[in-house]
Structure 1
Amino acid sequence: MIEFLSSNSNNLRQLQEEDLDIILQWRNDDKIRHFMFNSDVIALADHQAWFKRTVKDEKKHLLIFEKNKFSVGFVQLSVLKGGVAEWGFYVDPSSPRGTGQQMALNVLKYAFESLNLHKISARVIDFNQRSLHLHNKFFFTEEGVLRDEHYDGVKYHDVICFGLLKNEWKKKVTSNA
């Protein structure tokens, strides 16, 4: 059963320049980097350049998830045409279990209720069991498999494509309320 969490303990806010060091530290951690499509260590200068480019793009929503006023996760929503967005995210590798699910719940609520998006899509590398589990738990539909789409430098991996429509989300949230 999904329950909305108290807004007193959880918060989504815009990514700020002063957040860059911490999210880069999380992103470059082996526990996170291993599951990224680009698993290279990212240099600070490249990270700062990405932020300067991306923060100006109105179709990109760069968000920090806070729990008890501490930053614990990062999400990027990239809005495509027609109210469809792709998301990508990661949490502080030292966060307690369940942080990603709490963040996902808050982001989906924001995406569908505040941004009024029609659909959230995701692409997950087949060995990322935690992300696969999260998408299934939050009622995403597996929409396809891109066979041998990702090469990690050693072998090829499938990429699983997921989608969640706003009306599906509303139905599930209402039935679990």
Structure 2
Amino acid sequence: MNGSFTAISGVYVNLRPLSVEDADLTLQWRKAERARHLNLGAQSVEEQARWIQARPSSEYNYMIQLKSGAAVGMLSLVDIDKRNMRAETGRFLIGEEEQVKGRPVAVEAMGLLYDLAFNTLDLHRLYGLVAANNNLMIKWQKYLGMKEEGRLRDHYRSEDGFQDAVALGILKSEYESVFLPRSKALMAAGKPA
């Protein structure tokens, strides 16, 4: 399962491997209104625990924790293809919005994951899909260097029917030239941990 990799430490947050013990909390986050753009997932703690347990060891599934130890979100690096030097980012969710206000938690967590992908795993490209009606996430990802690469029609099924997915991607050169300077500025503007 997710025990084959270690935690990553940042200034404001740590990323630690997702565990079965996180099933209740992550299910609460997924059922919250702010997660409405995510795919339909587990409907019970038991289903969520089984889903976590079934994650392959090739995935990097993280919980985002404040330095105080409080878990506030999650994110993942999946479908790692070393031959083509690419991977998919996903499952990004800040579940405890009130606890992170004013802190650059989201940008630091993303930066730690990007650093793992580009500098430790030596990947060339990261990509991901975002629900087309999740305008804030699309805008944020583009600001941080991702480029829109296409659209998958009726890709996600939700309680409201089907919706498109926007395909986004970032190359290592764009990570270095766009993401790093912009994330550094956002980190500098954040309030102390």
> TM-score normalised to the size of structure 1?
0.81
Task: Tell me if the contact between 1:145 and 1:161 (Cα under 8 Å) persists in the aligned partners.
Answer: yes
Specify every segment of 5 or more residues in structure 1 that has no aligned partner in the other structure, as ranges: 1-5
Question: Could you tell me how far apart the structure 1 residues matched to 2:180 and 2:108 are?
Answer: 18
Question: Could you tell me how far apart the structure 1 residues matched to 2:11 and 2:131 are?
Answer: 34
Task: List per-residue Cα deviations over 1:51-105 (Å, max 9, x = no partner).
Answer: 1111xx2321111112223211101211332231112111114342653233222
Alignment of 1:130-169 (within 5 A): 130-169=136-175
Of 159-168 and 20-29, deviating more is 20-29
Q: Secondary structure at the match of 2:54?
A: helix
Q: Percent identity?
A: 23
Alignment of 1:122-137 (within 5 A): 122-137=128-143
- The change in CA–CA distance for 1:175 and 1:9 in structure 2 (over 3 A counts) is closer
Question: Which residue is 1:15 aligned to?
Answer: 18
Question: Which residue is 2:38 aligned to?
Answer: 36
Question: Which residue is 1:47 aligned to?
Answer: 48
Question: Could you tell me how far apart the structure 1 residues matched to 2:179 and 2:22 are?
Answer: 31
Task: Tell me if the contact between 2:123 and 2:172 (Cα under 8 Å) persists in the aligned partners.
Answer: yes
Task: Tell me if the contact between 1:79 and 1:86 (Cα under 8 Å) persists in the aligned partners.
Answer: yes
> TM-score normalised to the size of structure 2?
0.75
Alignment of 1:102-141 (within 5 A): 102-141=108-147
Question: Could you tell me how far apart the structure 2 residues matched to 1:174 and 1:96 are?
Answer: 21
Specify every segment of 5 or more residues in structure 2 that has no aligned partner in the other structure, as ranges: 1-8, 185-193
AA in 2 matched with 1:63: Y
AA in 1 matched with 2:37: F
- Kindly report the root-mean-square deviation, in angstroms, between the aligned alpha carbons of the 2 structures: 2.4
- The change in CA–CA distance for 1:23 and 1:152 in structure 2 (over 3 A counts) is closer
Q: Secondary structure at the match of 1:80?
A: strand
Question: Which residue is 1:64 aligned to?
Answer: 63
Question: Could you tell me how far apart the structure 1 residues matched to 2:49 and 2:57 are?
Answer: 18
Question: Which residue is 1:3 aligned to?
Answer: none
- The change in CA–CA distance for 1:145 and 1:52 in structure 2 (over 3 A counts) is same
Task: Tell me if the contact between 1:101 and 1:134 (Cα under 8 Å) persists in the aligned partners.
Answer: no
- The change in CA–CA distance for 1:175 and 1:43 in structure 2 (over 3 A counts) is closer
- The change in CA–CA distance for 1:9 and 1:156 in structure 2 (over 3 A counts) is closer
The alignment of Structure 1 onto Structure 2 pairs a total of residues equal to 168
Question: Which residue is 2:76 aligned to?
Answer: 76
Question: Could you tell me how far apart the structure 2 residues matched to 1:92 and 1:173 are?
Answer: 23
